[in-house]
Amino acid sequence: MNIKTLWAVIRFILTTITLFIVWLMFTSSLAPFSIIVGILGSLGISILTYNVFIPEYGASRISLIPKPLRLIKYSFLIIYYIYSSSIKTLIAVIKNNPKPNIVHFRTRLHTDFGRMILANSITITPGTITLDLNDDHLTVHWFLCNTNHSKLAGELVKGKMEEHLKKIWP
């Protein structure tokens, strides 16, 4: 078995396992019929989508597996950002002082998964919405924009999220 076929099998297995775990979470049933349907459905969907779920160029990367302790630390960080942004946005609305603008900046994250997590983290933080993620370029609507400089805007919007994500998915 050559290395390319081996990676395809590994991607297929990881996709099947992930889909089956999601099936179990949504059905919350360990009845034999439910398990059989979940396995068959996961296998069927995996045959069609394993190339999309884990792209071939990313299959050999150890970075698919997060570092659990750093992931827990990141969870606390994102909760902190959500609350602090909520307060800043609320104050700007009360003072009638919003400065909405669309900012463009780059990320230094190397994995697609890390970039996706960053884009979603920015979106769940009040006052920011990620409009587009294209390779390493992000377009964000920022409710409290106070700069026109793209690099500075990127640093202010990303905060420490990018640094922490680099340590979780190198």
118 neighbors 169 (Cβ within 8 angstroms): no
**How many helices (H) does the chain have, and how many strands (E)?**
6, 3
The residue that leads in pLDDT, 117 or 61, is 117
pLDDT, position 105? 93
Q: From CA 149, how far away is CA 62, in angstroms rounded?
A: 35
82 neighbors 130 (Cβ within 8 angstroms): no
Give pLDDT tens digits for 33-91. Answer: 999 999 999 999 999 988 887 777 654 555 556 777 888 899 999 999 999 999 999 99
Q: From CA 167, how far away is CA 163, in angstroms rounded?
A: 7
Q: Is pLDDT at 136 greater than 60 in this prediction?
A: yes
Full strand arrangement of the beta sheet holding 128-134: 101-106, 137-142, 128-134
